[in-house]
């Protein structure tokens, strides 16, 4: 991996995802310097104070200028604007990657800004996180033994891909590659839909008349299931809109499954319920195992 180490990494967006990556690659000695960039100077000052970055610049263009790798860790709705600011710098030899939860929309944004033939763009998505946000929530172990998916385009250079792979591996992650289309379908079912269900359930119960009593008696199962409803609403709004076709497809499939359960309850069909619950238990036990 040593042959892929670089001098400077620029992290745009030093919250949980970007900040944790910065701490991890610093700990691993992947680069000599880490530069932070973003809109809010107070956050960047905090990132320096916490040792997340070495220095910062509120100008994304200036921060990206001398970087070997630029990692964009901003909400999906902000990707296009950030790419435009990066493109204003001298980036001919700079590798650009991201941490967005939907990939085709990011590839489309990058293609529009950098040009379809740009070879140094490596779309990526770390499958890691917590319901916390902000630079104070960052910690270097976030990516240990977690998967990172890279979805290179047909134009992505092998060198750029391998450098980004090495960066994530230095953070402790297991790196896999797949197509953007397959990534977006898989994540719609395993990440985006569960977040929608958690947000929807909490909002549903919050609109009931006895909401205080309902939440007061909520047990561990409710807390476990709805933990992700404490996630950043803006980030998840952008994710759902950016991957809406795949998310809606998964929602339709889930609605059909819920209809089966509803009909079984309506008919008092305990055997049908048992079959559904047994299949689900076996699938989850196998996954957790």
CA dist., res. 182 & res. 200, Å (int): 26
Same structural domain, 173 and 188: no
CA dist., res. 161 & res. 224, Å (int): 36
Return the structure tokens found at 119.
């070879």
Using the 3D structure, point to which of 129, 153, 178 is the last residue of a domain: 178
Containing domain of residue 258, as a range? 183-288
Same structural domain, 169 and 31: yes
Residue 124's domain is classified under what CATH number? 3.40.50.720
Return the structure tokens found at 285.
């036990």
CA dist., res. 237 & res. 42, Å (int): 25
Same structural domain, 195 and 128: no
Which strands, in side-by-side order, build the sheet including 55-57? 55-57, 31-37, 6-12, 69-72, 95-98, 121-122
CA dist., res. 251 & res. 253, Å (int): 5
pLDDT at 214: 79
pLDDT at 58: 93
Using the 3D structure, point to which of 178, 209, 230 is the last residue of a domain: 178
pLDDT at 127: 94
pLDDT tens string, the chain, 289 residues long: the values are 556 789 999 999 999 999 999 999 999 999 999 999 998 899 999 999 999 999 999 999 999 998 999 999 999 999 999 999 999 998 889 999 999 999 999 999 999 999 988 999 999 999 987 777 889 999 999 999 999 999 999 999 999 999 999 999 999 999 999 999 999 999 999 999 999 999 999 999 898 888 788 788 777 888 888 999 998 898 899 999 999 999 999 999 999 999 999 999 999 999 999 999 999 999 999 988 6
Same structural domain, 195 and 272: yes
Same structural domain, 127 and 264: no
Same structural domain, 155 and 192: no
CA dist., res. 111 & res. 93, Å (int): 17
pLDDT at 216: 81
Same structural domain, 86 and 224: no
Residue 237's domain is classified under what CATH number? 1.10.3660.10
Same structural domain, 172 and 187: no
pLDDT at 2: 55
Using the 3D structure, point to which of 178, 211, 240 is the last residue of a domain: 178
pLDDT at 83: 97
Same structural domain, 163 and 189: no
CA dist., res. 242 & res. 261, Å (int): 30
Same structural domain, 256 and 131: no
The number of domains in the chain is 2
CA dist., res. 284 & res. 262, Å (int): 21
pLDDT at 215: 81
Same structural domain, 22 and 162: yes
Same structural domain, 99 and 209: no
């Amino acid at each position: 991996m040593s042959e892929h180490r670089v001098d400077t990494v620029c992290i745009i967006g030093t919250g949980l995802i970007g900040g944790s990556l910065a701490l991890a690659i610093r700990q691993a000695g992947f680069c000599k310097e880490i530069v932070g960039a973003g809109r809010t100077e107070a956050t960047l000052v905090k990132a320096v104070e916490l040792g997340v970055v070495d220095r910062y610049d509120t100008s994304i263009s200036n921060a990206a200028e001398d970087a070997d790798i630029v990692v964009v860790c901003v909400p999906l709705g902000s990707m296009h604007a950030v790419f435009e600011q990066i493109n204003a710098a001298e980036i001919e030899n700079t590798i650009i990657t991201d941490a967005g939860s939907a990939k085709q929309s990011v590839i489309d944004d990058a293609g529009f800004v950098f040009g379809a033939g740009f070879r140094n763009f490596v779309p990526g998505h770390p499958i890691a996180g917590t319901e916390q946000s902000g630079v104070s929530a960052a910690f270097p172990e976030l990516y240990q033994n977690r998967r990172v998916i890279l979805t290179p385009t047909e134009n992505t250079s092998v060198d750029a891909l391998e450098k980004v792979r090495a960066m994530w591996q230095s953070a402790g992650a297991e790196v896999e590659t797949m197509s953007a289309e397959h990534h977006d379908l898989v994540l719609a079912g395993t990440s985006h839909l569960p977040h929608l269900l958690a947000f929807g359930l909490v909002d549903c119960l919050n609109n009931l008349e006895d909401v205080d009593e309902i939440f007061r008696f909520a047990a561990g199962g409710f807390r476990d299931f709805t933990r992700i409803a404490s996630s950043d609403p803006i980030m998840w709004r952008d994710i759902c809109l950016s991957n809406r076709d795949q998310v809606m497809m998964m929602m339709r499939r889930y609605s059909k499954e819920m209809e089966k359960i509803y009909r079984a309850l309506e008919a008092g069909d305990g055997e049908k319920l048992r079959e559904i619950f047994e299949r689900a238990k076996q699938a989850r036990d196998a996954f957790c195992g």
